[in-house]
Amino acid sequence: MVQRGKEKVNLSDFFDEEIKEELKREIKEELKKELREDVFKEETEKEFSEKPTEKKIQKKKKSYAGILVFLIILILVLDLVSFYFYYKPNLNLNFINSIKSKINSASPNISSNTDKCKDGTAYDQCSKEKPYYCYNGELLKKAYTCGCPSGYKVDFQDCKKI
């Protein structure tokens, strides 16, 4: 029975039983189809809303990790290069010969007596010839410590004529 306005109309008056059954089947199929579409929409919305963000996050994590590894390697390489240029190591692998050459090429400021400089000044003392100072066998200008000869004034570690 269907209410039409104020009157109640019986559908069986207009349709026979076969048509009613066919209509019921069609309605059920349409409802099932709509349900399937709704479920499919919900699933696709979940896939497109949740999974891409998870995938994007994973891709970002991988890309950040790759960038981080690259930057660390770059810093290490730059460190090694700067270390090499700063210390300028002797990469001669013939160790004994390099030691012998260093011993043979002693500084000309060092005399055979290892406690004095070439002019006879003892280590860590001012030379008679100002402004020189004996440091580890070498005579260095050190006017601030040793002073200057007459007619000269101290200019940091050197002497300038007045």
Rounded CA separation 48/40 (Å): 12
Q: Cα 125 from chain centroid?
A: 49
What's the pLDDT score for residue 96? Answer: 58
Give residue 84's pLDDT.
Answer: 80
The model's pTM: 0.32
Rg, C-alpha atoms of the chain:
49
Q: What is the pLDDT of residue 77?
A: 95
Query: What are residue 155's DSSP bridge partners?
Result: 158
Q: What is the mean pLDDT of each run of 10 residues along the chain (162 residues)?
A: 59 69 88 88 69 66 85 94 77 59 56 74 92 91 91 90 90
Identity of residue 119: D
pLDDT at 40: 82
Contact 124, 114 (CB under 8 A): no
3-state secondary structure the chain: CEEECCEEECHHHCCCHHHHHHHHHHHHHHHHHHHHHHHHHHHHHHHHHCHHHHHHHHHHHHHHHHHHHHHHHHHHHHHHHHHHHHHCCCCCCCHHHHHHHHHHCCCCCECCCCCEECCCCECCEECCCCCEEEECCEEEECHHHHCCCCCEEEECCEEEEC
